[in-house]
Amino acid sequence: MRVLIVEDDRALGLFLQKGLTQDGHEVGWAGDGAEALELSAQRQPDLMVLDFCLPEQNGTEVLEAMRDRHVRTSVLVLTRHLHAEERVRCLDLGADDCMFKPFSFHELAARCRAILRRQELFADPVLRCGGLEMNRMERRVMYAGRAVELTVREFALLEFLLQREGECCTRAELLSRVWQASPEAGPNVVDVYVTYLRRKLGAVAGQGLGDSMIETVRGSGYRMRAERLLPAVILQPALQRAQGMFLPPMRLPPV
């Protein structure tokens, strides 16, 4: 998952970043509250590990700003305060958990995993984009009302792109998150599997590869389009219904 560390102590922040990266997460680091809010808006992390005592903008203010913006990111607060009132206030403001400093990294990593498991438990099993619908519980994909048969790897790739709809997913990120250092993962495997997906979605929707909803970001990777034209398989019935509403022009006899 995507994790954002918010810690003004550079040494501790880099230590947590390295440790959680080794634990399998994609981890960023912010040194103050303003940068944390900016990065959370840009990257939309799944989890924020937030130091309560930050310069200028403290953890409470960061939580309040996130609540005002309706940000769904889960938050684990790190604090030196022993007062129950402070912990209660953090939880009421939207934090998912609190830990005291100093702490065990292994416990922090376990709490992060627990929070992310709860996210997955209550996450919507259905992902949608335009005419595409993926049911992750039933392992079923529908596009333009028709079933799309995908392999396990194709399904995983499409799922990740749908979860990051509208964002650029780099090839390196896709290799790490979808293939997870699998022996089959070569330098061109992402491009090959994106072509497979485009071909299958295009065949169902009656489109060519050029009109695919998986957009190439030149020099970077791929992005699932947030907006796109409706495929011909959807438009055609609508056009037929519209044509049936109009009668052909009446021809008058010559005078």
Q: Are 95 and 76 in contact (CB under 8 A)?
A: yes
Q: How confident is the model at residue 82 (pLDDT cuts 50, 70, 90)?
A: low
pLDDT digits (tens, 9 = 90+) for 49-64: 999 888 878 888 898 8
Average pLDDT over residues 108-129: 82
- Give 252's Cβ-side CA count (13 Å radius): 2
What does the pLDDT read at residue 230?
45
pLDDT digits (tens, 9 = 90+) for 165-215: 888 888 888 887 788 755 556 768 999 999 999 999 888 877 655 457 899
- Does position 151 have pLDDT exceeding 80, yes or no? yes
What does the pLDDT read at residue 43?
77
What does the pLDDT read at residue 211?
57
pLDDT digits (tens, 9 = 90+) for 10-42: 999 999 999 998 888 889 999 888 888 888 877
Q: How many whole angstroms separate alpha carbon 159 and alpha carbon 181?
A: 18
Ordered structural domains, the chain, with CATH:
2-122 (3.40.50.2300), 126-228 (1.10.10.10)
Q: What is the mean pLDDT of the chain?
A: 81
pLDDT digits (tens, 9 = 90+) for 211-232: 578 999 988 899 998 655 444 4
pTM score, two decimals? 0.58
**H-state helical runs in the chain:** 10-22, 33-43, 59-68, 84-92, 105-122, 152-163, 171-174, 189-205, 232-244
Q: Angle formed by the axes of helices 84-92 and 59-68, to 10°?
A: 20
Q: How confident is the model at residue 252 (pLDDT cuts 50, 70, 90)?
A: very low
Q: How far is CA 243 from the centre of its chain?
A: 41
Task: List % helix, strand, coil for the chain (3-state, nearest 5).
Answer: 45, 20, 35
The rounded percent of the chain whose pLDDT value lies above 70 is 81
Q: How many whole angstroms separate alpha carbon 30 and alpha carbon 38?
A: 9
